[in-house]
């Protein structure tokens, strides 16, 4: 089968950074689906994993943690899906990724594809939807479907993939959303997604909130540069507020600065459940199905802004370069095998 893989960890500008290869078709485990992948999308995690380092893989390594496709076959213990079902998912970072024609993925990490979206539009959603859902509803403890009216959320990095779906999910919870964006096109994007106010994360955030007539917020979701924004948190968050971040730090941060206001800080990594095979892994299946329901009901929209074709090493390198530019809005998907 066709796949895109790496042997060396090289800059995306290098032709050998991602290669077109032929691999054997995968064999499913007891709870696995074999999915015929129709479209994939690219996330910052793909770029981080591929980033240059002095390591050579003994066999081709397949990246990719977002896909939509059709179930082709199932393992002996599968109960949630059957062949022919259209699905979308992000998968498990410890297993071969979605940049291959057929992929094995645990059924507990998979949701039904929204019927109102094509495969590229659906592939743009899983990783970011899981991340945003867990950040908002598990860590920040907002209540979906109107249950958090009157609460204020600051989304740092509103125009990226996670921010784009987080704004929409927060609005479903009736949260007042203040999103950060620094360019005219990204500001227009977050407003179109439902942000109540937009401020500039390249400026002092406290001054930006004051200028917008907004006081302290109940929660902050950091989807862009934890190192840069962490020191501002005590001036932004009300007493007993909450903060969640998805961006690892390059140096220690001063958690003690949050103590006087009893501000809680949490990390969100959507791969935690699959990496540690937690007993509640099936929660990702359930939440993806909820997202699909909200999409089909017109309450959420895809965050896809650019579709490339075909699924090939050349196109994937192009997508990685776009992600590395730091100027993408929403999500990039790649559709259709050559």
- Reported as a single tens digit per residue, the pLDDT across 287-318 is 999 999 999 999 999 999 999 999 999 999 99
Report, as an integer, the average pLDDT of 36-47: 97
Q: How confident is the model at residue 187 (pLDDT cuts 50, 70, 90)?
A: very high
Helices 282-296 + 126-133 axis angle, to 10: 110
What average pLDDT does the segment 117-145 reach?
Answer: 97
Indicate the pLDDT class of residue 147, thresholds 50, 70 and 90.
confident
Of 68-77, 87-96, 145-154, the range with the lowest mean pLDDT is 145-154
Last residue of a domain, one of 267, 301, 324: 267
What was the pLDDT predicted at 146? 81
The DSSP symbol for 260 reads: T
Each residue of 86-120: pLDDT tens digit?
A: 999 999 999 999 999 999 999 999 999 999 999 99
Locate tokens 């393992």: which residue?
75
Tell me the average pLDDT across 198-219: 95
Q: What is the domain-level CATH number for residue 118?
A: 3.90.180.10
> What are 254-271's pLDDT values in tens digits?
999 999 999 999 999 999
Residue-number span of the structural domain to which 138 is assigned: 129-267
Q: What tokens does 116 get?
A: 């109102």
**Domain termination residue (choose one: 216, 247, 267):** 267
Banded pLDDT at 198 (limits 50, 70, 90): very high
Is 43 found in the same domain as 80? yes
Shared-domain flag, residues 9 and 106:
yes
Tell me whether residue 154 is in a domain. Answer: yes
pLDDT band at 203 (very low <50, low <70, confident <90, very high): very high
- Check whether residue 40 and residue 94 sit in a common domain: yes
Same-domain status, 36 and 140 = no
pLDDT at 330: 97
The CA distance from 212 to 331, in Å, is 28
Decide if 338 contacts 331 (C-beta within 8 A): no
Compute the distance between CA of residue 323 and CA of residue 126 in angstroms, rounded to an integer. 17
Task: Please indicate, yes or no, if residue 214 is contained in any of the structural domains.
Answer: yes
Q: What are phi and psi for residue 323, nearest 5 degrees?
A: -60, -40
Number of domains in the chain: 2
Q: Given a cut of 90, is residue 145 above it in pLDDT? A: no
- Please report the pLDDT score of residue 124 as a whole number: 98
242-251: average pLDDT = 96
Which pLDDT belongs to residue 213? Answer: 94
Assess if residue 147 is contained within a domain.
yes
On whether both 77 and 52 belong to a single domain, the answer is yes
What is the per-residue pLDDT for 338?
85
> Which residue, 243, 17, 274, 237, is CA-closest to 130?
274
- Assess whether 55 and 121 both reside in one domain: yes
Give the tens place of pLDDT for each residue, 282-292: 999 999 999 99
Mean pLDDT, the chain, rounded, equals 97
How many angstroms separate the CA atoms of 253 and 265, rounded? 11
Q: How far apart are CA 65 and CA 284, in angstroms?
A: 14
Whether residues 155 and 256 fall in one domain? yes
Q: What is the CATH number of the domain that holds 194?
A: 3.40.50.720
């Amino acid at each position: 089968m066709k796949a895109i893989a790496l042997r060396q960890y090289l800059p995306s500008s290098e032709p050998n950074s991602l290669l077109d290869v032929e691999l054997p078709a995968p064999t499913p485990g007891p709870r696995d689906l074999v999915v015929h992948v129709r479209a994939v999308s690219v996330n910052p995690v793909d770029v981080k994993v591929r980033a240059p380092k002095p390591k050579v893989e003994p066999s081709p390594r397949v990246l990719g943690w977002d896909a939509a496709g059709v179930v082709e076959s199932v393992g002996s213990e599968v109960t949630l899906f059957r062949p022919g079902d259209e699905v979308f998912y992000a998968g498990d970072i410890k297993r071969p990724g979605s940049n291959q024609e057929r992929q094995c993925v645990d059924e507990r990490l998979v949701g039904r594809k929204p019927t109102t979206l094509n495969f590229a539009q659906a592939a743009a959603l899983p990783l970011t939807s899981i991340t945003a859902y867990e950040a908002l509803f598990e860590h920040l403890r907002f209540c979906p479907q109107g249950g958090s009216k009157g609460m204020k959320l600051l989304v740092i990095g509103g125009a990226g993939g996670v921010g784009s779906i987080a704004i929409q999910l927060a609005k479903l919870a009736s949260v007042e959303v203040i999103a950060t964006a620094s360019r005219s096109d990204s500001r227009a994007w977050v407003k179109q997604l439902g942000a109540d106010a937009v401020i500039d994360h390249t400026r002092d955030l406290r001054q930006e909130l004051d200028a917008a007539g907004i006081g302290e917020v109940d929660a902050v979701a950091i989807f862009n540069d934890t190192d840069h924004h962490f020191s501002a948190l005590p001036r932004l968050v009300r007493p007993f507020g909450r903060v969640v971040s998805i961006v690892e730090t390059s140096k220690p941060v001063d958690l003690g600065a949050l103590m006087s206001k009893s501000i809680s800080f949490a990390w969100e990594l959507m791969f935690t459940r699959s990496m540690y095979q937690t007993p509640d892994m099936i929660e990702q299946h359930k939440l993806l199905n909820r997202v699909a329901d909200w999409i089909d009901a017109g309450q959420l929209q895809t965050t896809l802004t650019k579709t490339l074709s075909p699924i090939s090493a050349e196109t994937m390198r192009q997508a990685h370069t776009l992600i590395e530019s730091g100027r993408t809005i929403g999500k990039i998907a790649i559709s259709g095998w050559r």
